[in-house]
């Protein structure tokens, strides 16, 4: 029981800024065990974002409410994944040889492509949140759990299935040797949390008529995460000779945006 508690605490401390009062340490062994709880961290972030969005949309129009909600979203992660998104953009969009791309990604400075990628991503997320808050009902806000849950599950999948670009160097090396069981346990958490998120609107008064849409979201978003994430991860891996910690974060950001887009398309009955 203590080992599981320490692993969950490590996942929250590593991926978020929630005030977890625990000092489990960050040994490679503990980091590997903690990946099982990544979807749980995503659910906590999604629940906080949903609550923040509900409060912001009650006080403000959809546009400002969306920006405030996005600020909360970024703040809860400490910008960890955005940093990986920018570094990955600087490296992968430089179209240099593999070794040079890895050097660029390792540089703590942010280049022009990283800044552009960050700005465009945040604009996309803000616009999607605005569309969701403008047309969505408060009871449907729990569906916002789905993007951060499945994006973090996919990070675990890539850690298990794809090679590491820098061998024994870098953050990604701490996750070397993950077994398929880690992915399966993370998948179980993600599936359970998705069902809870899909059922929550009914408990909040959304009505049975909305149930097909909620169920569709719980089914289609994991499929979208798998399809889009696999294509992006394989492309990055083929160019870098594997993945890095920055790419894990970039994949998380990419999938959050893609899955948020899918939610808005479902809301507008376009899927």
| Mean pLDDT value across residues 69-97 | 93
Percent of the chain with pLDDT over 70: 93
Q: What are phi and psi of 243, to 5 degrees?
A: -115, 160
Residue ranges of domains in the chain: 2-267
Q: Average the pLDDT over each of 31-35, 71-75, 207-211, 261-265 and give the range with the smallest value.
A: 207-211
Residue 205 predicted with pLDDT over 80: no
Closest by CA position to 42, among listed 184, 135, 112, 146:
146
Most confident among 5-14, 118-127, 139-148 (mean pLDDT): 118-127
Nearest alpha carbon to residue 125 among 191, 156, 81: 81
Residue 211: pLDDT band with limits 50, 70, 90? low
Higher pLDDT, 135 or 16: 16
Under the banding of pLDDT at 50, 70 and 90, the label for residue 249 is very high
Query: 24: pLDDT confidence band, cut at 50, 70 and 90?
Result: low
User: What is the structure's pLDDT at 271?
Assistant: 57
Residue 206 pLDDT grade (very low, low, confident, very high; cuts 50, 70, 90): low
| CA distance linking residue 85 with residue 91, whole number of Å | 10
Query: In sequence order, which ranges of 93-179 are alpha helices (DSSP H)?
Result: 98-106, 112-135, 146-161
Q: What is the mean pLDDT of residues 54-80?
A: 94
Question: What per-residue confidence (pLDDT) applies to 197?
Answer: 83
Output the pLDDT for position 202.
66
**pLDDT(167) > 90:** no
Asked if 72 and 52 count as a contact pair (C-beta separation under 8 A), the reply is: yes
């Amino acid at each position: 029981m203590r080992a599981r508690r320490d692993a969950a605490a490590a996942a929250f401390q590593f991926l978020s800024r929630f005030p977890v009062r625990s000092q489990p340490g960050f040994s490679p062994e503990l980091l590997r065990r903690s990946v099982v709880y990544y979807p749980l961290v995503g659910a906590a972030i999604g629940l906080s974002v949903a609550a923040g969005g509900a409060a912001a949309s009650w006080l403000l129009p959809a546009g400002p409410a969306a920006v405030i909600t996005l600020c909360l979203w970024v703040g809860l992660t400490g910008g960890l994944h955005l940093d990986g998104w920018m570094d990955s953009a600087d490296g992968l969009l430089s179209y240099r040889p593999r070794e040079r791309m890895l050097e660029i990604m390792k540089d703590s400075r942010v280049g022009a492509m990283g800044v552009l990628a960050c700005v465009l991503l945040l604009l996309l997320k803000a616009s999607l949140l605005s569309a969701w808050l403008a047309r969505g009902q408060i009871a449907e806000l729990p569906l916002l759990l789905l993007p951060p849950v499945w994006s973090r599950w996919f990070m675990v999948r890539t850690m298990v299935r794809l090679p590491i670009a820098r061998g024994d160097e870098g953050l990604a090396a701490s996750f070397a040797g993950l077994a398929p069981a880690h992915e399966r346990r993370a998948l179980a958490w993600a599936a359970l949390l998705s069902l809870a998120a899909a059922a929550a609107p009914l408990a909040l008064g959304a009505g049975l008529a909305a149930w097909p849409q909620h169920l569709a979201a719980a089914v289609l978003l994991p499929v979208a995460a798998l399809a889009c994430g696999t294509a992006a991860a394989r492309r990055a891996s083929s160019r870098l000779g594997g993945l890095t910690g920055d790419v894990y974060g970039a994949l998380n950001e990419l999938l959050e945006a893609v899955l948020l887009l899918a939610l808005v398309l479902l809301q507008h009955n376009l899927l």
